[in-house]
Every structure is written in structure tokens, then in C-alpha cells.
Amino acid sequence: MAKLIMWNLMTLDGMVEGPNRDISWHEAVWGKELEQLSIEQLNAAGGLMFGRVTYQLMASYWPTASGESGEIADFMNAAPKYVFSRTLTRSDWNNTQMFGADVPGTVARLKRESKKDIFLFGSADLAASLVRHGLIDEFRIGIAPVTLGGGTPLFKPDERVKLRLIDSRAHSTGVVILRYEPAK
């Protein structure tokens, strides 16, 4: 059975995006180390999972991405993508499956059927619903040395989850990659 791994960049004050969906602060921590980590994670992934908003942002960028991000773009475009949305029912981005109902049951089934781990990118609202159902097996969080003072928090105020640290690694750009699993 595959693990569901949530991967997100987050600010010191807990935001995954600033007001108006601003993620320009990602540029401050992006570098060779984070690029290499991204490639390693993509090579380990059997599929990518998104909520609607993150999916639409990814689908508007990756199909035409090239240049420096070529290897990542090739993977993003070829990988199986699982999208959860109450409003979208179809996708023009290749290898994408859309789901609208029974999120916990569908995610559990995808984990059972996948031979490789599934990565949940962004998608704070979807992540919150999966946390409530105990479906996230690992939390990988890149803490960026910046505060935004507002935006979208990664964890919702009513969420309470006890985690156990399994790894931490600092990068030269100041981002710290933390890996946690649910505490038993």
C-alpha cells in the first residue's frame, strides 16, 4: 500500500500562500538543493494529488513550462494526477482523474491501488479534510524564513494532530525541511 505524503512550503507564521494567493516568497528559498529534493520526490511518486485551486494553478503553468524546469515539467505532465473538486468535472491536462465525492474513501482506495507513494501538493483545504480522516502518512514541510502576517494557513485552527519528527534538514537558502509522521 502506498503512503500519502503531504509536501508544502510554509512560512514561519504558518502560511502556504499570502493574500491573493501570493507565493512569490517561494523564490527566496528556491535553489539547487530544493530543486534536487523536488526531483527526488517526483521520482519516488506514483501520483500527485491536488485540490481544485492548486490543480488549476499547476495546470495553468506546467503544460507549457520549459527551460530550467524541463525535467520537473516532464514529470508533472506525465504523472498520474488525482484532483478533488466539487465544481470541476473534466480536465484538459493529460493523465488527470477528477473526483467529486467520497474523498476519504477515494483516497483510501488510491493508496491501496498505487504501488508508489502519492504526493499531495499545496491544497491546504484538501489536506485538512484528509488530516481529519487520518489519511496522511507523512508531512513534509519546508519552513521558509519569512513571515507574511496573513494568507492561507497550512493547518486549520480546529485541527489537532500529534506528530513525530523523523528527519530535518537545513538548506543554504534558509529553508528547513521537516519530515513528520503521525504519532501513534
Dist CA 10 CA 146 (whole Å) = 9
Residue-wise pLDDT tens digits, 28-80: 999 999 989 988 988 889 999 999 999 998 999 888 886 656 778 888 888 99
Dist CA 172 CA 184 (whole Å) = 33
DSSP state of 67: G
Dist CA 4 CA 66 (whole Å) = 28
pLDDT given for residue 97 in this prediction: 96
Dist CA 152 CA 116 (whole Å) = 29
CA distances, 90 to each of 54, 55, 66, 97, 170 (Å): 15, 12, 25, 8, 40
